Chain A
Amino acid sequence: MNEHLLDPKIIANIDNYSLLARTIVEGFIAGLHRSLYQGFGSEFVHYRNYSPGDDIKYIDWKVYARSNKFQMKVYEEETNTNCYIILDTSASMAYSGSKDRITKLHYAKIICACFAYLINRQGDNVGFYAYNDTLRTCIKPGHRSGQVHSICSQLERLDPIGKGDHNTILRKLGELCNRRGIIVLVSDFLDFNEELAKTIRYFKFAHHDCILIQVLDDDEVNFPFQSNVRFIDSESNDELTTYPELVRQKYLHSFKKFMSNFESFCWKNDIDVEQIATSSSLVNILAAFLHRRELYR
């Protein structure tokens, strides 16, 4: 696995999400022992030698008759799973702690691109939705060859703006995603509350498998600010001047409490949640997704 390519510092300056997704995913998959996108569907791909443990129903007996060797027929896997990637593009996603870090939205967009590419390569249908206070992008699930390219083109156009109206939009999306599948919701979830919890739970009731990817910046987690600072809320534009040294302990306490509430909600409802900082590698998140995909199969 070429982790170097998955370093956020490297990918920060690349805006071509198609290229990024292909590079990252291919690089990531090349390091795995087992091919994940080849299985036992209906369309023949090639032969391989029999290994103990393989299902004997796939042995080509005609070949055995001719050559006295056990050869397994390998088919391209065919699934019909729908993946809905939903991206929060509200203004709170615009934050990047320092100049050499990437914004949360940029990081989230890369995640979306990678997932779309990965899903598409596995033969599943992938759809993409982006929202803030309105639904900004809507690409219905599909498996055609230009699907990933369409998603990546949309990703490039999205910028972080506006206030996130999660409840309204997600409920609307719930109606749009009427076929059972995997919901990948990428957001910072800073506005998580009872209402939003209900909405996410609604996905579960609709028999969707939910993966919540929470993208955060290190500054939100550690609150490392010094001296006198005037904080401006990115969505409401409210201002607050304070001495971070004085409020740090209390901030961290509140933030941790909020996070633990969020995690416990997910755990109780059997929802996968991945918290990822913009400074960390994409390996974990891709691995987590594939693991989930395997379970779902």
Chain B
Amino acid sequence: MDKISFLSPFFLSGLGLVLVPIILHFINRKISKKIVFPTIRFIHQAQQIKSGKKQIRDKFLLLIRILILTLIVLIFSKPIILGKIPIADTTDTKIVLFIDLSVSMHTNSFNEYLKKGADEIFSANPDASYALLASSNKIEESLPFETKHEKIRDKIDLLKPTLLAGNHHDALSTLPSFFDSEGISKKIVYIFSDLQHYDWNHSRLPSLNLNTEIVVVKPEHINTTNVTIRNAVSELYVKDSVKKLRATIETHFFSVASASAKLKLTVGTKSVVKNIELRGGYNDKFIIDLDDPDSDTGMAEVLFDDDLQVDNTFFFWVGSGIPLKVAIVVDYRDEPAKKTESFFLINALSVTLPGMTKFDIRLVDPDFIWDQNLSELQGIFFLDSLTTYTESELEMLFSYLSEGGNVIYFSGKKSAQNIAKLFNSKLGQTRFNGFKGEINQLRSFTVDALDLDAPVLSIFREEKGDLNYFPIYKYSKFVPHKNSKTLLTFSTHDPFLIQESISKGSLFMFATSLSPQWSEFPTSMTFLPLTRHIVNYGQSENRGILTLTIGEDYAQKLNKMGLADEFQIKDEPGVFTLKNIPVELNINRMESDFTTTQEYKILSRLSSLKPGTSKANTHPESLNVTTSFESLLAALLILIFLLELIFANYKFKTNQITP
């Protein structure tokens, strides 16, 4: 017996809407005006003719309107007719068992489900020939038709889902070769899969036109409250003489409704748990702090009380990894005094304390741009030293920024030329509007306002230090563009620090010079953390930690880096080092999304048999495909709409009174 099922059953709750016309109907009846009339004899004579018709029409309209609402709800719920597992002709049948071993099939009851489904098929078709095909993102197992039943059964017991994202194109493409031989009256493919939409993306399936029946056997339990950790970023800092780790965990919850869970952060022997609220269908970021981490590696987990999760664990590196390369560009030819300025910067970046990022600092002149591989650099400081750059050099700088680099510019005497150069080459949108203050130190300015929401300034959220106190005697007046972010502002409302996003990278512009005559910023307590944090800003591979994703083809990435020989491809997530490069290997794909592809789409892609029909006419009971009848419902809806229009606007004929 065919069953009707729904792909979006939650829309069925909309059936409650049918109460609306019913309630309105009864309210309309109840609110009739009451009049005590001398005699209703004359009305009664007329009523017998007209009002009866009107009542019938009203009831009919009510019925039509209920039907319209019901049909709309049904269309949204995407109804399908699910076929029954066929009882096939046992004399001449060939059956392929196709088993999806992608990571989304990870459930506690996987083997049970597989075994139960296979046993049902074996008992229904004891004399059929069987073949086995198991696939993750490649063919995991393939047994031809000659294999004995027992062997297939044993093999099924051993199958386990992999940690790979599914891509069944290759495996499905081999299906026609199974049915090459002629004279077979009946061919069936049983697909054991959850049809997770990432794995069974319609466009990624081969167009096979198989002359076979296809039956999808879905697991009974599909995890509908799955969560994945997309990323984990850690920061180390010291507060009250205690080393602290702050991790920002980004999650995505694949559910319609919100849910409570626990976020657990483990670093070495220390761990901390925090209660979190996951919003259904949203990305969320959670910040979790841990005191005195005693390991370089950490693990974040989202824990639910009941459900098994797929991507709920994320491994990450705590700490610096390899030193980050930065360049300080100084043009000594014009200004020997720039040496002092670069000295402050080098000192700030060279500080090494436990848990702090190490920097590999290079003091270079503007021509370095031709010798250095820019993509290696995490940040480039320009101490008012852009004036000599030609268009092609600025273009190189632009591509560096576009790939995710950070450029930090400090003002100076030549700010007007430098800012104009950045503006003309479309590197920056900020304009220069003269200098303010004098270097005679008679009058000073201080930073007044800061944008605490900006990630760059997150270190000042808890403790501002002397951020608002160090004096600045002279600065360049910048006019920021509306798309720029002004991170720090003077009390005169002029910007002190501006951030401009250029593709993946960022351009930071300080309004003052690092010369002690201009300001005491380089000798302030704020200078060191701020400059270091700015260089660290922006996560990219240049950071030094290599992030790889299970399910993706990371061998290609390793090949490009010349590391493929050193690294055996793993399917287990974790953190490790590879030639002194810290590596994070995680699952953070869309595999956890429980949304499924509609069966009929898959069937129409793979099989030439139209849904709802069977080539084997001798076995009418073996219809097994899924049929969607949304279009039929839509046509019905239009028809009923027309009926409603006709009846709602029908005017009863009235007899003319003869005088």
Q: How far is the CA of A227 from the CA of B34 in the complex (A)?
A: 11
CB < 8 Å neighbour of B37 from A234, A241, A243, A254: A234
Minimum CB–CB distance for B62 against chain A, Å? 15
Residue of A nearest to B657 (CB): A253
Say whether B50 contacts A229, CB under 8 Å: no
Q: How far is the CA of A235 from the CA of B36 in the complex (A)?
A: 9
At the interface with chain B, which of A18-26, A165-173, A244-252?
A: A244-252
Q: What B residues does A250 contact at CB under 8 A? A: 45-46, 49-50, 654-655
Report whether B28 and A247 are in contact in the complex, using a CB–CB cutoff of 8 Å: no
Q: B42 interface residue, CB < 8 Å from A?
A: yes
| A102-B236 Cα distance, complex, nearest whole Å | 93
B33 touches A247 (CB 8 A): no
Asked whether B465 is an interface residue with its Cβ less than 8 Å from the other chain, the reply is: no
Whether the pair A254, B45 counts as a contact (CB closer than 8 A) is yes
Cα A241 to Cα B54 with chains together (Å):
12
**Would B657 and A243 count as touching, CB distance under 8 A?**
no
With A92-B38, A231-B37 in contact, do A246 and B51 touch (Cβ < 8 Å)? Answer: yes
Say if the beta carbon of B47 comes within 8 Å of chain A. yes
Docked pose: A255 CA to B43 CA in angstroms: 9
Chain B, residue nearest A232 (CB): B36
A232 x B34 contact (CB < 8 A): yes
Asked if B38 contacts A220 (CB within 8 A), the reply is yes
- 8 Å CB contact of A230 from B34, B38, B50: B34
Confirm or deny: A58 has a beta carbon within 8 angstroms of a beta carbon on chain B. no
Query: What chain B residues lie within 8 Å of A188 (beta carbons)?
Result: 38
CB distance A232 to B35 under 8 Å? yes
Q: Is the CB of B44 within 8 A of A234?
A: no
Minimum CB distance partner of A247 in chain B: B46
Contacts of B47 in A (CB 8 A): 240, 242, 247
Those of A242-297 within 8 Å (CB) of chain B: 242-243, 246-256, 258
Closest CB in chain B relative to A76 CB, distance in Å: 43
Q: Are B51's CB and A238's CB within 8 A?
A: no
User: Which residues on A sit within 8 Å (CB–CB) of B49?
Assistant: 247, 250
- Which A residues touch B35, using CB under 8 A? 225, 229-232
Interface centre among B29, B35, B656 (most CB of A within 10 A): B35
A95 at the interface (CB under 8 A from B): yes
Contacts of A175 in B (CB 8 A): none
The verdict on A238 contacting B40 (CB below 8 Å), with A232-B34, A246-B652 known, is yes
Inter-chain CA distance A48–B47, complex, in Å, is 66
CB neighbours of B37 from chain A (8 A): 95, 219-220, 231-234
- Does A56 have its Cβ within 8 Å of any Cβ on chain B? no
Give every chain A residue within 8 A of B32 (Cβ-Cβ): 227-230, 241
What A residues does B241 contact at CB under 8 A?
Answer: none
Rounded to whole Å, the gap between the CB of A94 and the closest CB of chain B is: 8
A-B contact count (CB 8 A): 108
Complex contacts, A233 vs chain B, CB 8 Å = 37, 39-41
Q: Which residues of A contact B50 (CB under 8 A)?
A: 242-243, 246-247, 250
Number of interface residues of B (CB under 8 A): 28
CB of B353 closer than 8 Å to a CB of A: no
Cα–Cα distance between A249 and B43 once the two chains are bound (Å): 10
**Is B442 part of the contact surface with A, judged by Cβ < 8 Å?**
no
Cβ–Cβ < 8 Å partners of B40 in chain A? 231-233, 238, 240
Contact string against B for A residues 76-119, beta-carbon threshold 8 Å, 1 for contact and 0 otherwise: 00000000000000001111000000001000000000000000
A115–B566 Cα distance when bound, in Å, is: 127
In the bound complex, do residue B38 and residue A95 qualify as a contact, i.e. CB atoms below 8 Å apart? Answer: yes
B398 CB, min distance to chain A CBs, angstroms:
73
CB of B31 within 8 A of chain A?
yes
Q: Which residues of A contact B657 (CB under 8 A)?
A: 249, 252-253, 256
CB distance from A153 to the nearest CB of B (A): 27
CA distance A93 to B37 in the complex (A): 10
Chain B's closest residue to A233 (CB) is B40
- A190 at the A/B interface (Cβ < 8 Å)? yes
The answer on a CB contact under 8 Å between A249 and B655 is: yes
How many angstroms between the C-alpha atoms of A53 and B36 in the bound complex? 58
Q: Within B471-488, which residues are at the interface with A (CB < 8 Å)?
A: none
B46 in contact with A251 (CB, 8 Å): yes
User: CA of A188 to CA of B37 in the docked complex: distance in angstroms?
Assistant: 13
Could you tell me the distance in whole angstroms from the C-beta of A195 to the nearest C-beta in chain B? 15
Contacts of B42 in A (CB 8 A): 251, 254-255, 258
Chain B's closest residue to A240 (CB) is B40
Cα-based distance from A235 to B652 in the complex (angstroms): 31
Give the CA-CA distance A190 to B33 in the complex, in Å. 23
Q: How far is the CB of B478 from chain A (nearest CB, A)?
A: 71
**Complex: A100 Cα to B598 Cα, angstroms:** 70
Q: How far is the CB of B119 from chain A (nearest CB, A)?
A: 66
Closest to A244 in B: B43
| C-alpha gap A235/B51 in the complex (Å) | 23
Nearest-neighbour CB distance to chain B for A173, whole angstroms, equals 22
- Pair A240/B34 contact, Cβ less than 8 Å: no
Q: A242-B47, A246-B54 are in contact. Are A228 and B33 (CB under 8 A)?
A: yes
Residues of B close to A230: CB separation below 8 A:
32-35
CA distance A251 to B42 in the complex (A): 6
Best-surrounded residue of A95, A225, A231 (most CB of chain B within 10 A):
A231
| A227 to B30 CA separation, bound complex (whole angstroms) | 12
Most buried by A among B40, B43, B657: B43
Contacts of B54 in A (CB 8 A): 243, 246
Which B residues are in CB contact (< 8 Å) with A253? Answer: 46, 655, 657
Say whether B38 contacts A234, CB under 8 Å: yes
Q: How far is the CB of A187 from chain B (nearest CB, A)?
A: 11
Q: A275 CA to B49 CA in the complex, in Å?
A: 29
Q: Which of B32-78 contact A (CB under 8 A)?
A: 32-47, 49-51, 54
The answer to whether A234 and B36 have CB atoms under 8 Å apart is yes
Which of B29, B41, B654, B655 is in CB contact (< 8 Å) with A228?
B29
Residue of B33, B46, B51 ringed by the most chain A CB atoms within 10 A: B46
| Distance in Å: Cβ of A38 to nearest Cβ of chain B | 42
CA–CA, A219 and B45, complex, Å: 17
Q: What 0/1 pattern do residues 159 to 188 of A give for CB contact below 8 A with B?
A: 000000000000000000000000000001
Contact B46 A254 (CB under 8 A): yes
Q: How far is the CA of A275 from the CA of B101 in the complex (A)?
A: 96
Query: Do the beta carbons of B43 and A242 come within 8 Å of each other?
Result: yes
Q: Which 6 A-B pairs have the closest CB atoms?
A: A250-B46, A247-B46, A92-B38, A228-B32, A246-B50, A254-B42
30 contacts between A and B (CB under 8 A): A92-B38, A94-B36, A95-B37, A104-B38, A190-B38, A190-B39, A190-B41, A220-B37, A228-B28, A228-B31, A229-B35, A230-B35, A231-B35, A231-B37, A231-B40, A233-B37, A234-B36, A238-B40, A240-B43, A241-B29, A242-B43, A242-B50, A246-B51, A246-B652, A248-B46, A249-B654, A250-B46, A250-B655, A254-B42, A255-B42
Q: Which residues of A contact B (CB under 8 A)?
A: 92-95, 104, 188, 190-191, 217, 219-220, 225, 227-235, 238, 240-243, 246-256, 258
Given A93-B38, A258-B42, list of 15 further CB < 8 A pairs? A92-B39, A94-B36, A191-B39, A228-B33, A229-B32, A232-B35, A232-B37, A233-B37, A234-B36, A234-B37, A235-B38, A246-B46, A246-B652, A249-B655, A253-B657
